[in-house]
Each structure stands twice: as C-alpha cells, then as structure tokens.
Amino acid sequence: MNAVTSVAPAKFDVNEIRKDFPILSRLVHNKPLVFLDSAASAQKPRAVIDAMSFAFENEYANVHRGAYYLSETATTNYEAAREKVRTFINASSVNEIVFTKGATDAINLVAASYGRLALKPGDEIMLTALEHHSNIVPWQLIRDQTGAEIKVVPINADGSVSVDAFARTIGPKTKIVAVAHVSNVLGTILPIEAIVEMAHKVGAKVLVDGCQGIVHEKVDVQALGCDFYAFSGHKLYGPNGIGVLWARAELLDAMPPYQGGGEMISTVTFKQSTWAEAPAKFEAGTPPIVPALGLGAAIDYLNRIDRVGAIAHEHDLLHYAMQQLPTVPGLKLVGTAQNKASVQSFTMDGAHPHDLATVLDRSGVAVRAGHHCAQPLMEALGVTATARASFGIYNTRAEVDALVAALHKARAVLL
Ligand code: C6P
C-alpha cells in the first residue's frame, strides 16, 4: 500500500511566482512592466489561463441542462469549483456558495433580497466612511424602497475605523451592518470579529465586502462570524465575470429570489412559480461557467503556493513602500493605519494624481489614480483623488524602487 504523503508548498519565492504570470515579462513603452494595480484587477497565472482554454477547447457546454457527456462534465467541473470556494473560505456547505458576476452583483443581491425581507421604515443600515460605491449604492436603492435609513461610521485620520466609533453608531434600530474587510483605497483592515459581535448583540446581520480582504487575508467565514461575505474572482488572480456570495444557509433559505429565469425555479406555471433551493435559487440564467472554473483554478494555484509566505511578502512590500515613498519631496501617504494590507494611496503636492499616473506609465509603472469608486471617502479625507499603488504576490522590492524612481522623474516633469 502506498503511503499517503501531503506535499507542503515550497517556501515562498517571488522570483518563482513571477514565472507563473506570463504578462509580467512584457514591456510597456519599452520598459519592463511594473504592475502596481492589482487592487483594481490582478494578473492571471498560467494555470488559470490554461484551465480556461482547456475548458473551452475540450469540456465546454451549458451546465445543469444537458443529459449528454459534455454538459455533465461541465456541470461536474462547475460544481467542483463551488466546492473549491467552500474549502477556501471554510464555509460549512456548498449550498452556501452562490456564484455571481462579481462582488457588486453579490452585494446587490443581498441588498435587494435580504434588504427587502428585513428592512422597514426607521430601521438602520450601518456603513463606514471608507466603503466602495458597490457597498453604498445598493443600500441607498433599498433604503429608498423600504424607508430605512443609512448611518455612517466615521474613520480616523490614519484611515483606521475604531471599534468605539462602531459602538457609538450601532443601536437597536440597526438591522444590517455592511463593511469592507479591507479598504481598496487605504488598505485598512477592519476589525470584523468585533463588529460582528456588536452587531449580533443588537440582532443585526453583517455583510462583509471581501473584495480586497479575500486577496490579502486568509478568510474563514465561520471564524469571522459574519452573515454574508462577498468577493470577485478577478482580484484573486482569477478571471472577471465571476464572483461569490457566501451566506448562512438559513438566510439564503429565507431570502426571496433576486432575479427570475432559468434554473432558479422548481415549477413554473403562468399562475405561479416556485423556487429551487439555494444556491440555484440565486443563479438565474446561464451562469459564468468557464469563469467559475477559472476561479477554481486560481484557488488551486493559491493552495499550491506558500500562502502564509505570500501574505508576509505583501506586508514586507507595504512596509518598504511606506518607508520609501515619503523620500519623494511633497509626497504624502494617505492611509497609515496600524492594521493594513498591501494597498497604499498617496498624493504629491502640486501634481494631480491623474497626471502622476500618466507620467508613471511612461516608465512602465501602472498605478491607479482617481476616487477609486469611493467618493464619500475622498470627501472625508478632504481630497478629490489619490494615486494608489497596490501590491500582489508577484511584486518585488525592486518594483517599489522603480515606482519611487519614476515618482522622482514625474516631479521633474510636472512641477
Ligand atoms: N475595486 C479598485 O480599483 P467588482 O467591480 O464587483 O469586481 O468589485 C467592486 C468592489 C467592491 N468592493 C471593494 C472593496 C472593491 O475594491 C471593489 C473593486 C476596484 O479598487 C475597482 S473600482
């Protein structure tokens, strides 16, 4: 009998990791690409690209619909991807994993379905000042339909959100607390467990927008204790067009469908329709089949590497960047909370972030500039825009140096 051996992943080595991402070896404007915009969308490893090509070339058909080989294979693969997501976030059942188009779609689903079920006039939805528009606007839509109100927890000057500020805002009228796990602008990691504890004490449910959190933290939804966790595949080194809503089974069971269409029903007559069980109840129409397989491949990839080492590497890059960036005259870091993931916003006196990003691009350095879909946060910070460098598992200290060198050049051009 063969002994069962579990292979521990090789120790994290960024140079090995970089070889897995084909795009990183290309030139941009004749310069080596320095990709520092993974918070917007991460690059894809060869394993994801190959898994998706293989599916299109060999195993493509619609899912849950055909009694023939290819459809059964595609269905098995699609459901296997769901199981990969379940283990990745430690959900207790695959029935708690709803595939969506992305995090935005997942949050809209919860706001429209759970929000309509749970909210009445005078009830409160609690958000924080650093939320992405995707975790603001869906709640405004449901607020306007139900007569509920939105309360906003302020942030501190360093971009942190204190538990005390939550305690001051939460109350018996709070029914839903919707918060980012990690801010896409400031990198702040929010104290989710403490927030959940406070929310549950007053009977409120907690939705965590895990778009950035899933990338930079090891997520265990049962340990976090929240009720909903939403994320997109494309920031997690998977494709776009696929996202995940995790929700407690009893909530999904109680929630009405979000959209109607094929596959979400049990029976349909012109008089009345009945619904399938979750997660099918929330997956109306042909789902993003190959993107789901791509997400599964991204999770396989992350499971194969030393993830703890990868997260430590990202922290190292963040701290190095936080030391090096202020050496550029006039540069101000935006977001300096103690507990941070590898996302760093900054401004430069006298230079608009858009101009900065355009000039950096000429050096092959890709950063994002603008309001980052967080206009209320920009207002709270007293700025109209920032530039933002966000680091993924494939970035290096040498790339931080390249960013700093390009910023010095940009100063010379712009000021
Ligand atoms: N933030 C950024 O550059 P979608 O578009 O559905 O995949 O993700 C929306 C979203 C929701 N919440 C947070 C915290 C996010 O960061 C994002 C996407 C990108 O910061 C694009 S605006």
Mean pLDDT over 281-288 rounds to 98
Q: Is the pLDDT of residue 3 over 60?
A: no
Which of 107, 134, 216, 295 is the pocket-test mutation for ligand 1 (most atoms within 8 Å of CB)? Answer: 134
Nearest CA to ligand 1 atom 3: 40
Mean pLDDT over 390-406 rounds to 98
% of the chain exceeding 90 in pLDDT: 97
How far apart (Å, rounded) are the C-alpha atoms in residues 196 and 4? 40
- Report yes or no: 310 and 283 within 8 Å, Cβ to Cβ: no
Q: Is 390 in the pocket of ligand 1 (CB under 6 A)?
A: no
Atom of ligand 1 nearest to the CA of 104: 6
The predicted structure's pLDDT at residue 222: 98
Mean pLDDT over 385-409 rounds to 98
Q: Is the pLDDT of residue 72 over 80?
A: yes
pLDDT level of residue 6 (50, 70, 90 thresholds): low
Q: Is 232 in the pocket of ligand 1 (CB under 6 A)?
A: yes
Q: Is 106 in the pocket of ligand 1 (CB under 6 A)?
A: no
Q: Vertex 343, ends 339 and 346: CA angle to 5°?
A: 105
Q: Is the pLDDT of residue 106 over 50?
A: yes
% of the chain exceeding 70 in pLDDT: 99
CATH architecture of 49-303: 3-Layer(aba) Sandwich (3.40)
Give 192-208 pLDDT, tens digit per residue: 999 999 999 999 999 99
How far apart (Å, rounded) are the C-alpha atoms in residues 322 and 345? 10
Q: Which of 68, 190, 196 is nearest to 132 (CA)?
A: 190
**Residue 27 forms beta bridges with which residues?**
32
User: What is the DSSP secondary-structure string of 61-100?
Assistant: --SSS-SSHHHHHHHHHHHHHHHHHHHHHT-S-GGGEEEE
Give 205-253 pLDDT, tens digit per residue: 999 999 999 999 999 999 999 999 999 999 999 999 999 999 999 999 9
CATH number for domain 14-32+306-414, candidates 3.90.1150.10, 3.90.226.10, 3.30.560.10, 3.30.565.10: 3.90.1150.10
The predicted structure's pLDDT at residue 5: 54
Atom of ligand 1 nearest to the CA of 181: 14
pLDDT level of residue 268 (50, 70, 90 thresholds): very high
Q: Is 209 in the pocket of ligand 1 (CB under 6 A)?
A: yes
Provide the whole-model pTM.
Answer: 0.97
373 catalytic? Reply is yes
Q: Is the pLDDT of residue 4 over 70?
A: no
pLDDT level of residue 289 (50, 70, 90 thresholds): very high
Give 129-156 pLDDT, tens digit per residue: 999 999 999 999 999 999 999 999 999 9
Q: Is the pLDDT of residue 158 over 90?
A: yes
Query: How many C-alpha atoms does 29 have within 13 Å on its Cβ side?
Result: 10
Q: Is the pLDDT of residue 381 over 50?
A: yes
Q: Is 132 in the pocket of ligand 1 (CB under 6 A)?
A: yes
Residue 188 has which token pair? 């702040």
The predicted structure's pLDDT at residue 8: 78
Q: Is 211 in the pocket of ligand 1 (CB under 6 A)?
A: yes
Rounded to the nearest whole angstrom, what is the distance from the C-alpha of residue 214 to the centroid of ligand 1?
12
Rounded to the nearest whole angstrom, what is the distance from the C-alpha of residue 138 to the centroid of ligand 1?
14
Enumerate the domain spans of the chain: 14-32+306-414, 49-303
- Report yes or no: 257 and 113 within 8 Å, Cβ to Cβ: yes
The predicted structure's pLDDT at residue 2: 45
pLDDT level of residue 9 (50, 70, 90 thresholds): confident
Nearest CA to ligand 1 atom 2: 40
Mean pLDDT over 179-184 rounds to 98
Give 18-41 pLDDT, tens digit per residue: 999 999 999 999 999 999 999 999
